[in-house]
Structure 1
Amino acid sequence: MSRLYTQLVSKIIFPLQERLKKHDTVRARRSLERSQWLSPEQIAAQQLAELKTFLIDIGLHVPYYREAFARIGFKPESLQSLADLAQLPTLTKPLIRDHAEALKHEHAGPLGRSSTGGSSGTPLQFFISLERVSHDVAAKWRATRWWDVDIGDREVVVWASPIELHAQDRVRLFRDALMRSTLLNAFAMNEKNLDHYVQRLREIRPAMVFGYPYSIALISAHAKKRGVRLDDLGVKVVFVTSEYLHDHQRELISEVFGCKVANGYGGRDAGFIAHECPEGGMHITAEDIVVELLGEDGQPVADGQPGEVTVTHLRTRDYPFLRYRTGDVAVRDTRRCACGRGLPLLREIQGRTNDFLRATDGTMLPCGAFTYLMRETEGITNYKIIQETQLLTRLEVVRPGGLDQATRQKLIDGLKFRLGREVEIQVELLDEIPAQGNGKYRYVVSKLQ
């Protein structure tokens, strides 16, 4: 009966929902499931043809790139290889902020506003098309099915949801219930809630678990400490994303749940970049995304060398992400995965480590708990939160328009709400927040650990 319900959801209910949203998700997923078995050479050829069409279109109809291509004398129709991308300038968060309107396609369809702090924590607002959403959902759906689970199978999601902090969305709750997806709030990882989460997992008996590696590792460690088994629930896979997955976290989660852990990499801005298959390969969604790894000089690094993940999302013509610098670091994997898929591989994704802060009640708060607060505060372009002691936290903010008292108080109240009313919050307005010695930023820093 359970499997029949899964088929009802995956073949009828979810596709109907996507059609009502005007998403082309089902067709896109079917296409991805065919193309993944092509040879690496065939996938590369398909990717190059798609890239040329993409560049010709945005060169004609996107003001920002029409001017940029003319300025450097770049002719998209002359593209011969992916290496030719190096002729083009990269795209950064500041450039998107400064040219938000010029990046829109002149004949763009409906565009939705999106925002992200992502793994870096830097707030960014941009626009996203129905085509982009459809393909990102399809890519995630394809990767889910690699593990013999599907939409409609029982799922527990351990996520930092703003819904849990504010008001419950009844429509979303109904949809989640229909899809058999249960949310456990990663904002509330204290002792009492961990007991509750372990109990809920035993009650639900999910086929898959999805969420932050740190949060799921906390649940795993708590279950182990309590002597409560989670390896007899029938969980087939634990999907993790949004943070760096440490080896000890993978080992602990796998041990406690009695299944493999699948790492996923991407973001609202960059798209669904890569996902791990059962054979351990971190497959790039190459049909939709071109990944370059760039060195400090902005040039591609040699295979086996770490470089900044820079993506061109081929389904973003209406609001192009062309050579978008993610700030993350990875190494290309040149081997062919044992699973037989022709998709290229990444390894050693290094750029998504987020610290956690400890609230006065013992709750461990992920970076996302603070990203939402910063994202909702207009004008903030950068920030860093430093937890000096249990009762003192400093917030450094870059806000070009200044920081009025009302905004300052909103930030203080927001941090106190998360960390504890008795915590002293010191807010400092800065012109810039420098990177660390290695060139990377840390947006949440705890000195308690």
Structure 2
Amino acid sequence: MLNVYPRLVSGMLFPLHERLKQHTSVKVRKSLEATQWFSPEKMVQLQVERLRQLLIYANTHVPYYQSLFTRLNFQPETLNTLSDLQHLPFLDKSTIRANLEALKSDQAHGLARFNTGGSSGEPLVFFIGRERVSHDVAAKWRATRWWGVDIGDPEIVVWGSPIELGTQDTVRVVRDRLFRSKLLPAFEMSDEKIAHFLETIRKFRPKMLFGYPSALSHIAKHADKTGIKMHDLGIQVAFVTSERLYDEQRQQISSTFGCQVANGYGGRDAGFIAHECPVGGMHITAEDVIVEVIDPQGNVLPYGEAGEIVVTHLASKDFPFIRYKTGDVGVLDDKLCECGRGLPLIKEIQGRSTDFIVACDGTVMHGLALIYILRDMPQVKTFKIIQEGLELTRVQIVTEAGLSQADIDQITAAFKARLGHSVTIEIEQVASIPAEKSGKFRYVVSKVTPA
């Protein structure tokens, strides 16, 4: 009887929900569950066919690519291999900002506007169509089912996006209740908040957790510190994403909650790129995503070498993401996973880490609590936040035309509201912000160790 309700949700209620939203997620998920067993050769053939279709569509209906292909004398109909993609330039955030309207298909309807830039630190507005949403939902759904859980199984989500936290209207509340999903805001990590989280998790008895690895491991540490047992709740898996997953975080989460940990990689801009299977392979959603790894000069690197991850999303015709530079650093693998799936693998993902910050009263918060303040300011191009101590935080900001005094006052007030009114906020307007020695940018650096 316990398994009846998840089957009702995944087999009836969620498909109805997706149909009402004009999404094709159910059909796509069923297709993905078949194609995941394709041989590598057959998978590449599928990618080439879908890539050709995307480029032909872009040449017909997307003004930016119509102009680009004409200028390059590029004929998408002649594309025969994935390497032909290298004839096209990269798409970066500055190009999207400069060509926002021209990147929209003239056939697009119902585009959803997104504003992102969380861990990348570079605010970006872009659009996503229903096809792209359907494919990303289906890819995540498929990966969830790899772990023996499904939509409708009780789920705790520890998250900090204002998109999620700002949409808790009646419809959303009813939907989450039907799907047995409970959202816990990840911004503030005070002892009081974490105690409440742990109590909620114990009462809810979820089958799966979903959230930032730093947040889940921090909650787990608090449980161990206070002697609260969490391993006896029947949690099967903790899905983590949005940051680099460190070995000690995996061990902490697994040990405290008594479950396996499944790493996921993707973003609102780049899509659902890869997910870990129970055997341990980080599988690329190859039916929808082509991944390249490049060096600083833009040359495609061979398997095993670290470089910037570049993504082409094959279900993004309404607002194409073609050779999109993610800003993340990773390594591709030429081996196949022992699980038997033909999906290619990412061997390593480097540098997607957002630190915690500590308010002057000792409250621990996720770094995104400060990132979102700057992210939503269109005049801010990129930034770096350095918490030097409990009483001093420096903010380096790169802008197009400079900050007004009103902008500075707004940032200062918002930071003080989170860190404490006695904290000194030093704002430095700089021409550029150098990368770390690793080549990866860090946008929140805290020199304060949480108690």
Residue equivalent to 2:420 = 420
| Conserved 8 A contact 1:123-1:371 | no
Q: Percent identity?
A: 54
Residue equivalent to 2:5 = 5
Query: Secondary structure in 2 aligned to 1:77?
Result: helix
1:276 maps to 2:276: yes
1:306-349: CA deviations, max 9, x gaps? 12110000111111100001011111122211111111110210
| Conserved 8 A contact 2:123-2:378 | no
Residue equivalent to 1:344 = 344
1:157 maps to 2:157: yes
Residue equivalent to 1:87 = 87
Unpaired segments ≥5 residues, structure 2: none
| Conserved 8 A contact 2:118-2:375 | no
1:22 maps to 2:22: yes
Corresponding residue pairs, total = 449
In 2, the alpha carbon distance for the partners of 1:47 and 1:165 equals 36
Aligned Cα RMSD in Å? Answer: 1.7
Q: What is the 5 A alignment of 1:209-224?
A: 209-224=209-224
In 1, the alpha carbon distance for the partners of 2:166 and 2:109 equals 32
- Scaled by the length of structure 2, the TM-score of the pair is 0.95
Residue equivalent to 2:254 = 254
In 2, the alpha carbon distance for the partners of 1:351 and 1:317 equals 29
Q: Supply the AA of the counterpart residue of 1:261.
A: V
| Conserved 8 A contact 2:329-2:440 | no
- Scaled by the length of structure 1, the TM-score of the pair is 0.96
Q: Supply the AA of the counterpart residue of 1:264.
A: G
Residue equivalent to 2:204 = 204
| Conserved 8 A contact 1:118-1:242 | no
| Conserved 8 A contact 1:118-1:267 | no
In 2, the alpha carbon distance for the partners of 1:2 and 1:187 equals 33
| Conserved 8 A contact 1:58-1:65 | yes
Q: What is the 5 A alignment of 1:324-335?
A: 324-335=324-335
| Conserved 8 A contact 1:163-1:169 | no
Residue equivalent to 2:443 = 443
In 2, the alpha carbon distance for the partners of 1:291 and 1:15 equals 30
| Conserved 8 A contact 2:119-2:443 | no
Query: Secondary structure in 1 aligned to 2:350?
Result: coil
Q: What is the 5 A alignment of 1:73-222?
A: 73-162=73-162, 168-222=168-222
Post-superposition shift, 1:177? 1.8
Residue equivalent to 1:226 = 226
Q: Supply the AA of the counterpart residue of 2:135.
A: H
| Conserved 8 A contact 2:5-2:152 | yes
| Conserved 8 A contact 2:393-2:426 | yes
Residue equivalent to 2:377 = 377
Post-superposition shift, 1:65? 1.4
Post-superposition shift, 1:428? 2.5
Post-superposition shift, 1:399? 2.6
Over 3 Å counting, the alpha-carbon distance change for 1:134 and 1:227 in structure 2 is same
Q: Supply the AA of the counterpart residue of 1:364.
A: V
In 1, the alpha carbon distance for the partners of 2:10 and 2:162 equals 27
1:281-321: CA deviations, max 9, x gaps? 10100000111111122111111111211000011111110
Query: Secondary structure in 2 aligned to 1:121?
Result: coil
Residue equivalent to 1:49 = 49
Residue equivalent to 2:236 = 236
In 2, the alpha carbon distance for the partners of 1:161 and 1:93 equals 20
Post-superposition shift, 1:10? 1.3
| Conserved 8 A contact 1:210-1:238 | yes
Query: Secondary structure in 1 aligned to 2:429?
Result: strand
1:350-384: CA deviations, max 9, x gaps? 03111221112323222322232223223221111
Over 3 Å counting, the alpha-carbon distance change for 1:298 and 1:237 in structure 2 is same
In 2, the alpha carbon distance for the partners of 1:48 and 1:402 equals 44
